[in-house]
């Protein structure tokens, strides 16, 4: 009972702190593609799902200046702190997230393609190699680095 009250108080304090800190929660939305060749719903869905998890598990706690609790938060915090010291803001977190997020996305896309051979042909038609694919999706699903700071 006593521990649940403490955890509830900590959760409430964290929510209050993040609300007061002016941190804007990024959105993980399906990207619009200019042509049908690059429209591969299974890959888009995978990336959006992973981005939603990343925002919740890594991005928001670090952007809210909360102490890291998992390896994802630690990696992001260390990158941001190394580059910007403790004066970092949400734009800095977004820039670092653009690098770190896709390190996890690429292996997941590879696993998905291995499990679902029907994805191979659409990916081959859309991209000449994996670097081109990665660059395309990095651009489509990047974090906004032009957030107005409060």
Supply the pTM of this predicted model.
Answer: 0.79
Residue 94 CA to residue 101 CA, distance in Å, equals: 10
Tens of pLDDT, residue by residue, the chain (150 residues): 544 444 444 444 444 444 445 889 988 888 888 888 899 999 999 999 999 999 999 999 999 999 999 999 999 999 999 999 888 999 999 999 999 999 999 899 999 999 999 999 999 999 999 899 989 999 999 998 887 654
Answer for the pair 96, 80: CB distance below 8 angstroms, yes or no: yes
Residue 6 CA to residue 9 CA, distance in Å, equals: 5
Residue 72 CA to residue 61 CA, distance in Å, equals: 10
What residues contact 76, with CB distance under 8 A and at least 6 apart?
58, 59, 62, 68, 93, 96, 97, 100
Residue 94 CA to residue 40 CA, distance in Å, equals: 25
Q: DSSP per residue over 88-130, as a string?
A: --HHHHHHHHHHHHHHHHHHHHHHHHHH-GGGHHHHHHH-SSH
């Amino acid at each position: 009972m006593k521990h649940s009250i403490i955890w509830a108080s900590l959760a409430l304090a964290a929510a209050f702190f993040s609300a007061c800190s002016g941190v804007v929660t990024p959105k993980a939305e399906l990207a619009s593609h200019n042509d049908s060749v690059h429209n591969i719903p299974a890959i888009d869905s995978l990336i959006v799902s992973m981005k939603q998890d990343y925002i919740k598990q890594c991005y928001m706690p670090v952007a809210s200046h909360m102490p890291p609790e998992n390896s994802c938060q630690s990696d992001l915090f260390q990158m941001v702190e190394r580059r910007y010291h403790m004066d970092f803001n949400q734009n800095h977190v977004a820039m670092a997230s653009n690098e770190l997020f896709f390190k996890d996305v690429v292996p997941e896309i590879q696993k998905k393609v291995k499990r679902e051979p029907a994805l191979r042909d659409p990916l081959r038609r859309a991209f000449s190699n994996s670097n081109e694919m990665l660059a395309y999706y990095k651009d489509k699903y990047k974090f906004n680095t032009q957030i107005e700071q409060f």
